[in-house]
Structure 1
Amino acid sequence: MKAYTIVGLAAVGALALSACTGGGGGGTGTGPESGGEPVIDGTLNYAIARDPGMLFSPLNASGTLGSVSQWAYESLIYFDADGQPQGWLATDWEQTPTSLHFEVRDDAVCADGTKLTAETIANNFRWIADPANNSTAINLVVPSTAKIENDDKSVTITTVEPDPFMITAIGSQAIYCQAALDDPQSVSTASNGTGMFNVTEVVTGDHLTLERRDDYSWAPEGAAIGTTPGVPKTVVLKIIENESTRANLLLSGELNVGTITGPDGDRLEGKVDVLNSGMLLTGGFLYSQAEGRPTADKNVRIALTKALDLDELMQVSTAGKGERAQRLATVDPQVCQYDAVGPNLPKTDVAGAEKLLDEAGWVKGADGKRSKDGQPLVLEFAWQSKGAEIASTAEMMADQWAEIGVGVNHDGSEYGAFIEKISTPGAASKIDVMWLNANYPVPSALMVYFTGETPPKGNNFAALKNPKFDELVKKANNSTGAEGCKAWEAAEGEMYASADYVPFAMMSHPTFAQGISEYGIEKFAPSTILVK
C-alpha cells in the first residue's frame, strides 16, 4: 500500500475479547457493552503488514510502528469521534498559533517502575528537536527552533513560526520514558512507556509479543484499564505481509484483527465485521528538483505528468478499489476537506506532453528516444517493492513514458531499503522520481516533505523548490485550524500545478475483526488494546 507513511492518531475504540464468537469469524460477537461473557486473560492476535523495524519512533517514521507503539505508549491527547482533542496524559491545555501549554497528570507510571514527570514529557520533544539526534520527526512533530519549557506540573512549547495544527502533531506524539530517551537502543526491540502493554518479545519478520500491565489504571474516564474484564493478557502482533493469508486467518478464527485493502476483503463481507475504515493516500510520487536532474525543469515535470493516464494508474495501484486523490491530509480527524488535486494537477494530454518536451530541448532521435545535448532522457525511478500493485503501477508508468520516448531505470526495493535510499544525503541528485505516500490528519505537518532542508537536516527528499508554494504555506500557517483550510487548498494547488508532487490514488483501509467487542469511549485509543 504505502511507500512512506506517517499515520497520526486515528483510533476506533477499545477492544475486549469475547467468549461468544465462534471460529470462522462470526462478527464481533458480544462483550462488555452487550452483556456477553468476556474472555479473562485471553490472547489477542492482531496482524500487521510488515516488520516495524526498530521500535523507537523518533528514529523510525514507519507507519507500521504506529501499530506497535499504540499498545505500549500514550500521548498527551486523543481525538474523539468529532475530531476534538480530549485529555490523556494531559489534563488541560491552552493553544495559540505559536504555542501550546499542557497541564499534565502525575499518576502515570512507566514500564520500568519510574514515575512519568512533566520534565520527561518535555524531554521527549527536546530529543526530537535536537538536530544532533537526527530524528525523523524533527520539524514534523516539533521544529528544531521550538522553545520547550516545563515545571513540575506543565509543559509549554513555543514556536518561532505559527502552526495552525500544532496540537495534532505534538499532542499525538507517543511519549517515551526517560530511560528510553537516554538510551534509544534500549527500546529498539523492547518498550518503556506508560501504556497498558509492554513489549516482551520481538522475533524479526515474524511477530511481537506484548504483555498486559495489570497496574495500568490512569486511562481517561470510561476507558479500559488493566483489570477491565475482557482486556487480553497477551497481544501477539503477527507480521503477515500477504493479504490473502490475513483474510484466511480471519475467516478461520486464528486472527482477531487485520486490515485488508484488496480483493480479499470481498471474501470477508458478511462473515467478519468491519471494525474501522479510514481513507489513506496510497499512490503518489515526487519529481526531483536537484540541480542537473531533467525533472528540475517545471515544463519537463508537467510533460511527464501529462503523459500518464492517472485514472488508469489509480485503478491498478488500488486493485480497482480506490479513487483519485484529492488532497494531502486524508487521515481522521480531518480538519480540512477539499479537492486541490483535481482542478490543478496537469491532465492527461500525450500530444501536449510531447510538445512541451520538444520545447524543452528533449527531442526524439531516429530510434524514437529523447535526448538533449547528447544526454538521453532516462528517469531513475525509486519505488517500494511491497505488493504486486505497486510494481505493476511502476511498470505501467514506465510504459506510458516510453510512448513519448522517455526511458526508465527501475529501482524497486523493500520498505526499509527504500526509506534508507530516499533519505540518504544527496539522493535527489541520483533519483528523478520517488514514490511517496505521506499520511497525516493535517496538511501543515506534511510540508516537511515538500519544502525546507534535504536529508540529513530535513525531510525534503526530492529537493523541491517552489517560492510561490512557500509563500502560500507561510500565509496558511498564519491562520488557525479550519480557518486556514482555504489557504492550504491554495498552497497545495500551486504544488500540483507545478507538478512538484503528483498524488493520484487514495483508498479505504478497512480493519476487520472477529472474536472481540468494542469497549469504552468511542474513538478513544489507549495505546494498548485499541486499533487504528
Structure 2
Amino acid sequence: MKKRLLAAVAGLCALTLTACGGGGGSGASNGEGDPVIDGTLKVAVNEDPGNLFRHVNTSATLSYVYPWAYESPVYFDDDGEPQGWLAEKWEETPTSLSFTIREGITCEDGSQLTAETVANNYRWILDPKNSSSFKGLVVPADATVKEDEDARTVTVTTKSPNSFLLPQMGIQPIYCQSALDDPKSVETATNGTGMYSLKQAVPGDHYTFERRDDYNWGPEGTPTGKTPGVPKEVEISIVDNPSTRANQLMSGELNIAAVQGPDEERVASTLQPFYQDDLITGGFAYSQAKSAPTADENVRIALTEALDLDALMQVQTAGQGKRAERLAVLKPTICTYDAATTNLPKSDIADAESRLDAAGWKKGSDGKRSKDGKPLTLDFGWYTRWPETSSTAELMAEQWSKIGVGVKHHGTDAGAFLEKINSPGAAEDFDVIWLASNYSVPNVLATFVSGQAPPKGSNYAGISNPQFDEEVKEASKLSGKEACGSWEKAEASMYQSADYVPFAVRPDITFGQGVKNSLGQGWTNVNGITLVE
C-alpha cells in the first residue's frame, strides 16, 4: 500500500516529513570549549530509519540520518529565510521555481553534481512507476522539470499555482545519478554530496558515517572537512528506550538524543536543549460521509462546543504544551498566525445541547441522544503512538457523554491506524479521526483536510468545505510569506465550521552534550555540528 503521508501523524514526525525541515536553535549545548580533533559524534534515534532512499521513505527517523550524506538546494535559517546550499541562487513564482546549481560539487562516487542530476531527482519522484510518496506532497503532481546544463539551471513549472514551492522542493535531499539509476544501491548505503559517507550499516543497531576530508563546497563560512571540531565519524545508534537514551546522555555516552516523557525533566535539569521544534500531537477531523452524523455542520459545532479543548491539551501534552494555532507549526516556520484558537467553536454546553436538539438528536429517558431510533454513538479512530493519546480520547468521550453522546473507541497502533485511514471508506467507518499532521507549510497539510479521499488522495474524513477550497485557490496565487494572510483566512473558514480541530502542540526537544551547531535548524544543517571539549 502506498502511504501518501509526509509525517502524517505526530510522533512519526518527531520529523515524518521529518521530510520535515529540521528543528531550530543554533549555538552551543553544554560545551564552549576547545574543538575535539577527529572525534566520534554519538547520536541516538528511537527506531531504525528503514530504507535510506528518501524518495520512497517518509520515515521521521530517516530525517535524522540522511542529512549526514545528502544536501538540498537550499536550507532555511532560524528566521525562516531561505539560504543557498547546492543552489547559489533561485527564483520563485506561484507556478515556477528555478535553481542555479553551484559548480565544483562532488558526489561520493567521484562524479560531479550537475543540473541534470538535480532535475532527475524531481523527475524520479514524479515518475508514476516509482510510486514515490513525495509526488503531490513535495513535488506537485502536475510539475514539469527542465534543465540547462550550460546555465546550470533547473526549472520546475506547474499548471496549478502553489504558495510554497521553495520550502517544499528546496529542502528535498538530492541523490547522485548512479543512486537514481539503481535505487537499491542506496537502501543501506549512501551516494550523495554531503560531508559524510556511510561506512557501516547494521539495521536495527547502528549506522556509522565517515567524514569526507575533501568536502569544501558548503555555503561561505561553514565548516569543511578540515575544520577543527568536525567529527571524523558519526555513529548513530538505535536506542528505543527513552530512559536508556537519557542515562546515556547524562553519562556522556551520547552527544545528541531526543528524550520525551518522564525522563525529559531530569535531563533538562542537567543539559541544555540542543534544539527544539514544536509538533501538533492533538487534533481530529469529523467525518463528512453522507451516512455520518457529523456530516451536519451543526452537529460538528455542537460536539466541539461540548469539549474543553484547554483541558484536552493539558492531558495530551502532559502539561508541557500549548493550544494549536494553525495547520503548520514545524520549522522552518514560514507563516506564524493564530487561525485556530480564535475561530474554533468555544466551549458552550447549553448551545451544544440546543444545536443537537435542532438537528433532531433528542435525549431519551436514559439521557442518551438518538434520531429515528438510531443512537448518537461516535466511532472514534485514534492511535497509540503517544501514551497520552488514550487518556485524551477517554476524556473526550467523558465530555461528550455529558450531552448524551456515546463513543465507541477504535484505538490501535500507529501502523494499523495509518493503513486503515489510507484505505477507501475510512470516512464511512469512523465519525471522528485523530489527525495530528506536521509539516512546515500549510498547503501540504491541506491535502489531509480537502481534495480527494483515499486511494486517490489523503482526505481521510471526506471533508468538503467550498469556502476553504476557494480561499486556498486565492492563497495559492501568492508566494512565500506574502501568502500567509490568505492562508490564515482559508484556515479560519475550516475551523469555524469545525471540519478539523487541532488543539495541542508539544515541544520536541533534542538534548546535546559536548556539541555545538553554528548553523541552526537542527538536522537539516548537520555540517554546522562540531564536537567541543
- Fold-level match, TM-score > 0.5? yes
The answer to whether 1:129 aligns with 2:131 is: no
Matched, 1:30 2:42: no
How has the CA–CA distance of structure 1 residues 123 and 248 changed in structure 2, closer, same or farther, with 3 Å as cutoff? same
Query: What is the aligned partner in structure 1 of residue 88 from structure 2?
Result: 91
* Pair 1:451–1:262, CA change in 2 (3 A): same
Q: Distance in 1 between matches of 2:63 and 2:81?
A: 20
Q: Matches of residues 413-432 of structure 1 in structure 2 within 5 Å?
A: 413-432=412-431
Farther-moved stretch of structure 1 (385-394 vs 340-349) = 385-394
Question: Mean alpha-carbon deviation: is it higher for 432-441 or for 151-160?
Answer: 432-441
For residues 528 and 522 of structure 1, do their structure 2 counterparts lie closer, same or farther at Cα, with a shift above 3 Å needed? closer
Shift of 1:442: 2.2
Equivalent residue for 1:158? 157
Task: Indicate the larger mover: 53-62 or 271-280.
Answer: 53-62
Comparing 472-481 and 263-272, the one that deviates more: 263-272
Q: CA deviation at 1:209?
A: 3.3
Distance in 2 separating the partners of 1:516 and 1:437: 32
Percent of paired sites with the same residue: 54
Answering whether residue 65 of structure 2 is matched by residue 68 of structure 1, we say: yes
Task: Tell me how far apart the structure 2 counterparts of residues 126 and 483 of structure 1 sit (CA, whole Å).
Answer: 28
Given that 2:222 and 2:528 are in contact with CA atoms closer than 8 Å, whether structure 1 keeps it comes out as no
Deviation at 1:523, TM superposition (A): 4.8
**Matching residue's letter, 2:263:** D
Aligned pair in 2 of structure 1 residues 66, 304: CA closer, same or farther (>3 Å)? same
Alignment-derived partner of residue 299 in structure 2: 300
- In structure 2, the partner of 1:479 is 478
Cα distance 1:392–1:480, how it changes in 2: closer, same or farther (>3 A)? Answer: same
Of 21, 24, 46 in structure 2, the residue corresponding to residue 9 of structure 1 is 21
Contact 1:80 1:524 in 2 (8 A): no
Is residue 426–residue 460 contact of structure 2 (8 Å, CA) maintained in 1?
Answer: yes
2:404 is matched with which residue? Answer: 405
Segments of structure 2 that go 5 or more residues without pairing to the other structure are 1-9
Counterpart Cα distance in 2 of 1:506 and 1:81: 19
Listed as ranges, the gaps of 5+ residues in structure 1 are 17-26
8 Å contact kept, 1:90–1:103: yes
- The answer (yes or no) to whether the contact 1:454–1:461 under 8 Å persists in 2 is yes
Q: Taking structure 1 as reference, are residues 374 and 178 closer, same or farther at Cα in structure 2, changes over 3 Å only?
A: farther
Once residues 3 and 497 of structure 1 are traced to their aligned partners in structure 2, the CA distance between those partners, rounded to angstroms, is 28
Corresponding position of 2:100: 103
CA distance in 2, matches of 1:526, 1:10: 5
Q: Which amino acid aligns with 2:17?
A: I
2:77 to 61, 76, 80: 80
- Does the C-alpha gap of structure 1 residues 259 and 147 become closer, same or farther in structure 2, counting only changes over 3 Å? same
- State the match for 1:233 in structure 2: 232
The residue identity in structure 1 corresponding to 2:31 is G
Could you list the per-position Cα deviations for residues 418-474 of structure 1 after superposition, in whole angstroms to 9, with x for gaps in the alignment? 323322233333233222222222222322222222233322222221111000111
How much has 1:76 moved relative to structure 2?
Answer: 0.4
Counterparts of 2:98 and 2:130, CA distance in 1: 24
Residue in structure 2 matched with residue 19 of structure 1 by the alignment: none
Residue 443 (structure 2) pairs with residue 434 (structure 1): no
Q: How does 1:60-459 map to 2 (within 5 A)?
A: 60-152=57-149, 153-459=152-458
Residue 260 of structure 1: how far off its partner (Å): 3.1
Cα shift at 1:132: 4.4
CA drift of 1:232 comes to 2.2
Q: What is the CA distance between 1:301 and its match in structure 2?
A: 1.9
* Cα distance in 1, alignment partners of residues 73 and 403 from structure 2: 52
Quote the Cα distance in structure 2 between the aligned partners of 1:441 and 1:180: 27
Q: TM-score, normalised by structure 1?
A: 0.88
Count of aligned pairs: 515
Instruction: Give the secondary-structure state (helix, strand or coil) at the position aligned to 2:319.
Output: coil
* Deviation of 1:217 (Å): 2.8
Q: Is the 8 A contact 2:447 2:457 kept in 1?
A: yes
Cα 1:446–1:317, aligned 2, differ >3 Å: closer, same or farther?
same
Correspondence for 1:20: none
For structure 1, which segment, 135-144 or 495-504, has the greater mean C-alpha deviation from structure 2 after superposition?
135-144
Structure 2 Cα separation of the partners of residues 200 and 351 of structure 1: 64
Bigger Cα displacement from structure 2, 132-141 vs 481-490:
132-141
Q: CA deviation at 1:288?
A: 2.2
Shift of 1:120: 2.0
Q: 2:5 is matched with which residue? A: none
- Alpha-carbon distance in 1 for matches of 2:389, 2:254: 26
- Checking the alignment, whether the CA contact within 8 Å between 1:79 and 1:524 is kept in structure 2 is no
CA contact (8 A) 1:177 1:192 kept: yes
Deviation at 1:528, TM superposition (A): 4.1
Instruction: Give 1:151 shift.
Output: 2.0
AA of the residue aligned to 2:254: L
Partners in 2 of 1:342 and 1:427 — Cα distance?
27
Residues 145/510 of structure 1: CA separation in 2 closer, same or farther (3 Å cut): same
1:54 has 2:56 as partner: no
CA, structure 1 residues 56+454, in 2 after alignment: closer, same or farther (shift >3 Å)? farther
Task: Give, in whole Å, the separation in 1 of the partners of 2:316 and 2:458.
Answer: 25
Q: CA deviation at 1:75?
A: 0.6
User: Which stretch of the first structure deviates more once superposed, 402-411 or 142-151?
Assistant: 402-411
Report deviation, 1:497: 1.0
Contact 1:14 1:529 in 2 (8 A): no
Kept in 1, the 8 Å contact 2:223–2:528? The answer is: no
CA deviation map 1:356-413 (0-9, x unaligned): 2333333344544434344443333332312321222122222222333333333333
Partner of 1:465: 464
Superposed CA deviations along residues 69-106 of structure 1, whole A, max 9, x for unmatched, are 22222110011233221111111111222211111124
Q: One-letter code of the match for 1:9?
A: G
Structure-1 residue corresponding to 2:6: none
TM-score, structure 2 as length reference: 0.88
The one-letter amino acid paired with 1:353 is: A
Higher mean displacement: 334-343 or 200-209:
200-209
* Distance of aligned partners of 1:452 and 1:104 in 2 relative to their CA distance in 1, 3 Å threshold: same
- Give the superposition deviation at 1:235: 2.3
C-alpha distance in 1, partners of 2:117/2:329?
32
Aligned residue in 2 for 1:22:
none
Cα distance change of structure 1 residues 180 and 500 upon mapping to structure 2, 3 Å threshold: farther
Distance in 1 (CA, whole Å) between partners of 2:290 and 2:200 is: 46
Amino acid aligned to 1:234: E
SS state at 1:356 partner: helix
2: CA distance, partners of 1:199 / 1:293: 51
Q: CA 1:70–1:288 in structure 2 vs 1: closer, same or farther (change >3 Å)?
A: farther
Q: Which amino acid aligns with 1:220?
A: P
**One-letter amino acid matched to 2:469:** D
How far 1:156 moved relative to its partner?
A: 0.2
Deviations 1:498-529 (A, max 9, x none): 1111110112222210022334x455866545
- Distance in 1 (CA, whole Å) between partners of 2:245 and 2:493 is 40
Q: Which residue is equivalent to 2:7? A: none
Q: Distance in 1 between matches of 2:225 and 2:185?
A: 25
Tell whether the 8 Å contact from 2:12 to 2:60 is kept in structure 1 after alignment.
Answer: no
Distance in structure 2 (CA, Å) of the matches to 1:47 and 1:221:
30
**Partners of 2:501 and 2:524 in 1: CA distance:** 35
